[in-house]
Amino acid sequence: MTTTPPPPGATTIQIDGRWYVLATGARAEEQPHALKRDALFAVFDRRGDIVPWEGGDQGLYLEDTRYLSHCELLLDGARPLHLNSAVKQDGSVQVVELMNPDLQRGGVVVVPKGTVHLVRRKRLVDGLCHETLRLANHGLEPVHLTLTLQFAADHADLFEVRGMQRDRRGEHTPVEIGPDRLTFGYTGLDHRRRRTVVQFIEGTVTQLGAEGARFEIDLAPGQRTERQWQVACLADDRDVPAMRSIGEADRAGMRGVRTEVPGRCRVVSSHPMLNRWLERSASDLEMVTTQLPTGPFPFAGVPWYCTTFGRDGLLTAHQCLWLRPELARGVLSFLAATQATEEDPATDAEPGKILHEARACEMAATREVPFARYYGSIDSTPLFVVLAHAYWQRTGDLAFLRQLWPHVQAALQWIDRYGDRDGDGYVEYARRSSDGLIQQGWKDSHDSVFHADGRMASPTIALCEVQGYVHAAKLGAAAMAEALGQTQDGQRWRADAAALQARFVRDFWSDRLRLYVLALDGDKRPCEVPTSNAGHCLWSGIASPEHARAMAERLLEPDLFSGWGVRTLGEGQVRYNPMSYHNGSIWPHDNALVCEGLARYGQTDAALALLTAAFDTSLQFEDSRLPELFCGFPRRDGEGPTRYPVACSPQAWASGSLFGMLAGCLGITFTPGARRLALQAPRLPEFVDWLRIEDLAVGDARVDLLLQRWRDSVGVEVTRRVGEVDVVVQI
């Protein structure tokens, strides 16, 4: 069954340059609610409905397939009036309060508005969406209501939802109507059978039909009643689960909820709004993280990227490494297990290369899109080595390092053999897959790499930040090799890193920009445009100290710094557009990397300016949730930042940004194999008087720290110590 066709002007999402997400119409002004539990996620409107013509991304999804495309609650054929709605902290429960509008029969109002209070409570649990509807009559007279629920299941592939047109699709089967359930079936071109089963508590439904359910409800004054149903997303021959009661759904839903975990590091401050941002970031990180057989992995973002992405997972895990090292271990384990072992031009795979993204949807299985396992990112492979080294530094886990080492070696071999395509010492890209990504850095929209006159850069393309990642990977590999007794390899990689840094500083620096250029094109001509990419060269450590000092000033000049953050592209450039995806917008994770990089080079005032701007931004977004990106318009008095219409929210590396910024500004470092924690010239922003870090693991010891700001310095007090651990503050 398909959804009702949307009216003219409704929102649809389509791909430009094949894989770039665009909005081609106005969506509902209200921000939708995203829920996620394990691999199941949903996007509902504020009434708890799925109304696709109000928002093209609304639906209930599993494995990048929309199992429910329409779910609408009506009273006597009218939508209830919205009172309030919220998503609970763990991100898997939505609670919505509604009331009836004036209900007329024969031109006479028979139920005045506000007589009946309705509470919808949805919970995602074990591959199900369970819902309870409670109704209460607050009037003085009995009321009769006809309540209908309209359902449809288009089983659309996520890439269809995003706007891709398909020449043909699989086959929908007629809706099966049982005494207590509706079954919507679809057999895809991948020969998999998918079913959406809507079940009701037996005996509560007045009538079931192909379009949904009808309830006839009578309520005396003061009387309350409830109805329950659940939606199951079933693939292949999975059995229909038993109908749960609300208590069973809640008990199942509470299992595995990890918003407050005994023994997990916690951060709290003197500022209540910073605490709200900290709590939201931690909660969103839990929400997007999915337990895989290899361990926890932060899925990239809801709704478009709710799956494993190499680059996103690696950077998110790095941001959170100091307080959640188990996340890095899970990311590394999964990416090692999916590391490419052979060449496959159709998926841009080469031996040793690290995964870009994986999809389990119909269009991936039929190769209508190349993303079943796709390897078209130039930076995931060096970042894999960077995170492996950082994880070992953080934990001293030599046993895991030995287990991971063959994969690290394979990644380094890929860097030298396949990454450097023309032997010039730089890692560059040119897609091999005809359907793959044109641009393969983190700014992967098709128009993101260009020259100052606006001409697109010709491949092969060597991005500035990628050279920094490779430099950090080689240095990290050297340290790991030496720890494993492979001194000769360590010396070779250190020499490689030094040579790369010398070349890079010579070839990429622009005196005119006072920044590193965006890239070198296939003819080794510099793309001399001011971008945030240059800031990543601070994060990785490839920048020279004198260049870092110049960049600290340059990155905060008005063409790059909007007041809300550093733009992806400087204002005034030919391709600058503050409403674009990568050519003038602001990305929280991008700013976090720049912030960490500035602090690394001792430019802490500039780093604190970015942290403060990000804090100010968090105050402007609902629930202090930073989205994937927002528009790059200049900051104006009395106005907040301008939202980007199809940004993922929540999004993994946006959720991790605060933790990365704090790690940078506090100068937190660990010594592998030793119970030693160092804070190098720690600083706190002016809006924070004190910060408390509780249950920070250092080896098998734990420590609580109280950091108090004194003008331009920070006092550090150890308030609790369990086990042997040294805490060193370096000024």
Place of tokens 């409570």: 121
Q: Is 471 helix (H, G, I), strand (E, B) or coil?
A: helix
The structural domains of the chain, with segments of one domain joined by +, span 13-254, 378-541
Taken as a whole, the chain contains a residue count of 731
**Residue pair 630/616 in contact by the 8 Å Cβ criterion:** no
Place of tokens 């287990």: 403
Domain 13-254 sits in which CATH superfamily? Glycoside hydrolase, family 65, N-terminal domain (2.70.98.40)
Q: CA-to-CA distance for 147 and 155, rounded, in angstroms? A: 26
Q: CA-to-CA distance for 139 and 145, rounded, in angstroms? A: 13
Amino acid making up residue 176: E
Q: Which residues of the chain have pLDDT under 50?
A: 1-16, 22, 24-26, 258-259
Strands in 207-209's sheet, in edge-to-edge order, are: 70-75, 143-152, 212-219, 207-209
What's the token pair of residue 258?
Answer: 């990890």
Check residue 30 and give its pLDDT.
65
Pairing verdict, β 20-23 and 33-37 = unpaired
- Nearest of 431, 436, 419, 411 to residue 340 by alpha carbon: 411
CATH architecture of 378-541: Alpha/alpha barrel (1.50)
Q: CA-to-CA distance for 323 and 695, rounded, in angstroms? A: 9
Residues in CB range of 147: below 8 A, 6 or more apart: 73, 74, 75, 214, 215, 216, 217, 227
Check residue 225 and give its pLDDT.
96
Amino acid making up residue 550: A
Long-range contacts of 486-493 (CB under 8 A, 24+ apart): 493/412
pLDDT digits (tens, 9 = 90+) for 631-677: 999 999 999 999 998 899 999 999 999 999 999 999 999 997 778 99
Q: Is 624 helix (H, G, I), strand (E, B) or coil?
A: helix
Q: CA-to-CA distance for 153 and 2, rounded, in angstroms? A: 6
Q: Among positive and negative, which fits the CA dihedral 620, 625, 627, 629?
A: positive
Q: CA-to-CA distance for 86 and 567, rounded, in angstroms? A: 31
Check residue 9 and give its pLDDT.
37
**pTM flag (> 0.85):** yes
Q: CA-to-CA distance for 296 and 552, rounded, in angstroms? A: 36
- What is the signed CA dihedral for 469, 473, 474, 480, rounded to 10 degrees? 160
